Structure 1
Amino acid sequence: MEASPNDRLHFGVMAFGCDHYNRRCQIRAPCCNEVFPCRHCHNESTSTLRNIYDRHELVRQDVKQVICSVCDTEQPVAQVCTNCGVNMGEYFCNICKFFDDNIEATSMPSDYRDKKVWILCNDCNDTTEVNFHIIGQKCGHCRSYNTRAVGPPVLPQ
């Protein structure tokens, strides 16, 4: 039986990553052309280089290439692998070049577990009521985290 597109998208959640993030891709650092699990791994590695002039930090927004951890395909930054169709991060920001599988796994304090908020999705422009999360709110329509809090919709009288 062939896997559904949804099964393929979520294959390997929480099975890949590093000490800093769970995600299904690595990044190619544009500053040194090396591959690292994340910018923190890059910065830790380059901060200990013998030659002080070789030490540098990665600017996350400058990342242009990622490598899928499932199929090892190098490709331009995107949430879904162009080769195997896996979601490289349940949370993805194309501006920040940030991928993470662990947003929803972060437990919420009991005071916030049932709190609802209204959000506007900056990607699909849908307004929905969702569960509040300290790290970010996921659009119920397109599943993006590129959202902002808004007031509840005003219904015509």
Structure 2
Amino acid sequence: MLTTVPSYAFVFFYSLKSNSLVARRLSLFLRVTSRCHPPYTQSLFSVDARCRVSMEKCKHYRRRCRIRAPCCNEIFDCRHCHNEATSMLRNPFDHHELVRYDVKQVICSVCDTEQPVARVCTNCGVNMGEYFCKECKFYDDDIDKGQFHCDDCGICRVGGRENFFHCKKCGSCYSVCLRNNHLCVENSMRHHCPICYEYLFDSLKDTIVMKCGHTMHCECYHEMIKHDKYCCPICSQSVIDMSIIWNRIDEEIEATIMPEDYLYKKVWILCNDCNDTTEVFFHIIGQKCSHCSSFNTRTIAPPVFPQ
């Protein structure tokens, strides 16, 4: 494939035959400028890739239309199909995501008519989606999901509007069982999962709200518990009831006698569960918080008291 080179590069050609050093420098210059001025291509996707994308059935939604992505002018079954396809492009600078609100045109899957976003095809009259949201430009035939549009979130959710409420501080819709029953963390859902680092706010996976108020994917949470990790990856607070474990550690400490040199040694600790700082006797197995009896603690430098 030919690459367009800026015209000012050719002023060096006169000395190519007489000066090998200049020739080497020009060769390096051309390689650099070819990267700075990539060849113009009409499409980010090859013909084979476009055919493969158009023939594959959407695994995310059932609908009777496709969308034209305004960012790359390509046709996809849905926004997620677009994002998955662009994430596999060879050039990382071509990776991008489709903003749902930017979609202006859809293509009817029955008559292949391209038209502005609407529920019903203007040509054949087919209903392109049993559920249709004009704000999100979203179509879906599987209405058993209980789709609804949350004005505060600005996107569509599933599960039935009556089963969710929008927490203003957390910035997302939560199950009604968490109303007045969770610790609010500002914009807790507008972050990435601390395990897989996928953005939580519009993720298709189920999300769990931990005791500390932080959020993560349910499958990531269960995988973390399976590997005996019982603390929040963000704040280190215990995510389950650890009282049985603390009792066992108490028994271990009582059965383990410390050497005489460490028998009366004291350290300052910070409790990850109650955020209290106390001075306790040091033990090789662990330091117990005198406020909440948790062993989820860490040693810290002694506090500096005002004189």
Q: Is TM-score (shorter-chain normalized) higher than 0.5?
A: yes
The partner residue of 1:36 within 60, 76, 79 is 76
Q: Does 1:91 align with 2:131?
A: yes
For 1:104-115, list aligned pairs within 5 A.
104=144, 106=145
Q: How far off its partner does 1:27 sit?
A: 0.2
Residue 159 of structure 2 aligns with an amino acid whose one-letter code is: I
Higher relative contact order (CA 8 A, sep 6+): 1
Count of aligned positions: 95
2:99 is matched with 59
Q: Does 1:134 align with 2:159?
A: yes
Relative to structure 1, the CA distance from residue 96 to residue 59 in structure 2 (aligned partners, 3 Å threshold; closer, same or farther) is: same
For 1:73-88, list aligned pairs within 5 A.
73-88=113-128
Q: TM-score, normalised by structure 2?
A: 0.30
2 CA distance for matches of 1:136 and 1:87? 23
Q: TM-score, normalised by structure 1?
A: 0.57
For 1:16-27, list aligned pairs within 5 A.
18-27=58-67
2 CA distance for matches of 1:95 and 1:136? 17
Residue 50 of structure 1 aligns with an amino acid whose one-letter code is: R
2 CA distance for matches of 1:66 and 1:35? 9
Q: How far off its partner does 1:136 sit?
A: 5.1
Question: Secondary structure in 1 aligned to 2:110?
Answer: coil
2 CA distance for matches of 1:98 and 1:70? 18
Residue 99 of structure 1 aligns with an amino acid whose one-letter code is: Y
- Residue identity over aligned pairs, in percent, reads 74
Residue 137 of structure 2 aligns with an amino acid whose one-letter code is: K
Runs (4+) of structure 1 moved beyond 4 Å?
none
Q: How far off its partner does 1:65 sit?
A: 0.2
Relative to structure 1, the CA distance from residue 80 to residue 18 in structure 2 (aligned partners, 3 Å threshold; closer, same or farther) is: same
Q: 1:79, 1:92 within 8 Å by CA — same for their partners in 2?
A: yes
Residue 141 of structure 2 aligns with an amino acid whose one-letter code is: D
1 CA distance for matches of 2:80 and 2:90? 19
1 CA distance for matches of 2:117 and 2:61? 17
Residue 74 of structure 1 aligns with an amino acid whose one-letter code is: E
Q: How far off its partner does 1:48 sit?
A: 1.0
Q: 1:103, 1:135 within 8 Å by CA — same for their partners in 2?
A: no
Query: Alpha carbon RMSD of aligned pairs, Å?
Result: 1.8
Structure number with the higher helix fraction is 2
Question: Secondary structure in 1 aligned to 2:115?
Answer: strand
5+ residue gaps, structure 2: 1-56, 147-157, 163-307
Residue 134 of structure 1 aligns with an amino acid whose one-letter code is: G
Cα deviation, 1:27-54, whole Å, max 9, x if unaligned, reads 0000000000000000000001111111
Cα deviation, 1:74-130, whole Å, max 9, x if unaligned, reads 0000000000000100000000000000013x49xxxxxxxxxxxxxxxxxxxxxxx
Residue 93 of structure 1 aligns with an amino acid whose one-letter code is: C
